[in-house]
Amino acid sequence: MSGKYDILVVGAGITGLTIAERFGNEGKSVLVVDRRSHLGGNCYDYLTEGIYVHEYGPHIFHSDYKEVWEYLTRFTDWVHYQHKVLALIDGELVPVPFNLNSIKALFPASMSKKLIDKLLEHFGYGREIKILDLLKVEDHDLRWLANYVYEKVFAGYSEKQWGKRPEEIDSSVTARVPVVISTDNRYFHDRYQGVPLRGYTAMFNKMLQCSNIEVLLETDFKDIKSHIDYKTLFYTGEIDAYFDYCFGKLKYRCFNYKLLNLPQPSYQPAAVVNYPNEYDFTRITEFKKFYNQDSAGTIIGIEYPEDSGVTAWPMLDPENLEIYRKYRSEVDKLKDSYFLGRLADFTHYSMDDAVNRALQVYKEVLRFV
């Protein structure tokens, strides 16, 4: 650590690493600091027994941003994996988001035909209908279907995921739940989808292959900030922690993850199976299925959303959003400091959104640093 840098990046997740790579290759001296012992934040993975394991749950890259896809392709080749998720509903494993195949799997033939015919008549093939919109239709059978999906697919999962009933959650979360009027079982429909050929960690390491970039892991920003000289700060950590929680602590839903090595070639029929209603966990991931890896055994991850553990999803309720706005107003008073990323922006970013945000901030402030 030289002690003098153009750029200090706090947080070695995908947002911070994008900022570091861009400025480092622009000729700026960059220091990246992170409390964890590895790069990548919650996207971190590692190779064991021939299987890429996602330490903090499944991360499938998907995007409609051509710029973001082409940017990351500088640092990795891709396995062009199309993600499909099953959910255990009434004892059957069916596709989610809920679609026409889900209806056929769960209901008797005559009943499923009636429901499908009505969906096609009202909305047409290929549409995605938000569950809240489907609940408003006048047709009795379609409203029954909407209530079924709401209770069987969404309500139980949300209660485990957030520790709250859906009606207690910000409506923007509820509004995203669709019924898909097609037989397309894919979870995402973005133009670009896949996983890095040699894993996320290899991609992150390649992003930092620049002599201008230094990395300090297992290091808290507050422990070193008085010992180093830097011109511009890019902060991707928890915004409330930066300000010593002066307006209160923002709430996040966390999770704990149980990894199991199993002496069998396959555990489940899809990479991810959701459990909306049964058990205390929300989903099980079988990692080898992302890469179709050939190994004698398999590794699964069982995800338990809880109040403590790995920080994951901001609780976007009115109380928390008001606290966040107070912190954001303090950010606006800072000079040469930029706050971005899932924790600093207190929002739900997909990986592509995080990279896109970092690229846009980089372009906006490049001339000032």
pLDDT at 171: 64
Q: Encoding tokens for residue 58?
A: 């499944």
pLDDT at 168: 74
Q: Encoding tokens for residue 362?
A: 């980089």
CB 343 within 8 A of CB 238: yes
Q: What is the mean pLDDT of residues 79-104?
A: 97
Q: Does 255 or 226 have the greater pLDDT score?
A: 255
pLDDT above 90: residue 169: no
Q: What is the DSSP string of 181-226?
A: -SS--BS---SEEEEETT-HHHHHHHHT--TTEEEE-S--HHHHTT
Work out the number of other CB atoms within 10 angstroms of the CB of residue 337: 14
pLDDT above 70: residue 172: no
Express each pLDDT in 247-303 by its tens digit.
999 999 999 999 999 999 999 999 999 999 999 999 999 999 999 888 899 999 999
Q: Does 131 or 361 have the greater pLDDT score?
A: 361
Q: Could you give the 3-state DSSP secondary structure of residue 155?
A: helix
pLDDT at 126: 96
Instruction: Give me the residues paired with residue 46 across strands.
Output: 53
Using a 10 angstrom Cβ sphere, with 0-12 exposed, 13-18 middle and 19 or more buried, the burial of residue 18 is buried
Q: Which of 112-116, 135-139, 236-240 has the lowest mean pLDDT?
A: 135-139
Torsions phi, psi for 21 (to 5 deg):
-60, -45
Cite the DSSP H helix spans in 8-80: 14-24, 66-72
pLDDT above 80: residue 308: yes
Angle at 170 between CA 165 and CA 173, to 5 degrees: 85
Q: Encoding tokens for residue 88?
A: 């255990």
CB 254 within 8 A of CB 311: yes
pLDDT at 265: 96
Q: Does 202 or 227 have the greater pLDDT score?
A: 202
Task: Give the Cα separation of 333 and 330 in Å (integer).
Answer: 5
Residue type, 126: G
Percent of the chain with pLDDT over 90: 88
Report the residue count for the chain.
Answer: 369
CB 57 within 8 A of CB 35: no
| CATH numbers and ranges of domains, the chain | 4-39+208-248+315-368 (3.40.50.720), 99-180 (no CATH)
